[in-house]
């Protein structure tokens, strides 16, 4: 990744803010980075000697979400928490993935309690809109992309433990 990282950070300009979002499922810290010309979600895990041992960098673009992605996410999250997603609101391919993963995603989303807030973070490289979802007992960074019919066609999620308040 080293050949691509410096030019990418250079093109995003000055780092304006770093916001701690929580801890990921592998013990790393997850941050929202805001630059003069862009945004990124970055996680970082340290080894026992305090050196960076791993992490994920996800550049984000766009200052406004695609219409409908937040509603699609809210609907999917509600369905995952209840154990009954509305598959008619999902593309056929994405519906298959959601069905396959429901045993694990239902447990995760039902355990986090009430959805408290949804904050748009930016657009990912694949055209998906990324959001920070905060629940009463947890959180996730989650994205959504819609197909031409307005159905949710894909996305990712990364659980994060909310910062201690």
Dist. CA 86–CA 84, nearest whole Å? 6
Residue 36, pLDDT score: 87
- pLDDT reported for residue 55: 77
- Residue 163 in this model has a pLDDT that exceeds 60: no
User: How is 96-125 classified by DSSP, letter by letter?
Assistant: HHHHHHHHHHHHHHHHT-SEEEEEEEEE-T
**Looking at the predicted structure, is the pLDDT value of residue 165 above 80?**
no
- Nearby residues of 136 by Cβ (< 8 Å), 6 or more positions away: 112, 113, 114, 116
Q: What is the pLDDT of residue 68?
A: 95
Band of pLDDT at residue 59, cut at 50, 70 and 90: confident
What lies within 8 Å, CB to CB, of 154 at 6+ separation is: 91, 93, 94, 97, 126, 128, 144, 145
């Amino acid at each position: 990744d080293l050949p691509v990282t410096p030019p990418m950070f250079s093109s995003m300009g000055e780092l304006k803010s770093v916001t701690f979002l929580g801890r990921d499922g592998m013990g790393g810290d997850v941050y929202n980075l805001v630059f003069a010309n862009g945004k990124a979600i970055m996680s970082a895990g340290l080894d026992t000697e305090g050196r960076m041992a791993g992490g994920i960098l996800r550049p984000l673009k766009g200052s406004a979400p695609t219409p409908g992605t937040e509603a699609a996410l809210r609907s999917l999250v509600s369905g995952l928490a209840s154990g009954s997603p509305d598959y008619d609101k999902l593309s056929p391919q994405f519906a298959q993935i959601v069905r396959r993963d429901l045993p694990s995603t239902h447990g995760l989303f039902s355990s986090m309690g009430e959805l408290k807030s949804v904050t748009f973070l930016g657009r990912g490289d694949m055209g998906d809109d990324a959001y920070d979802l905060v629940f009463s007992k947890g959180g996730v960074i989650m994205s959504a992309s819609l197909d031409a019919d307005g159905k949710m066609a894909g996305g990712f999620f990364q659980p994060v433990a909310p910062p201690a308040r």
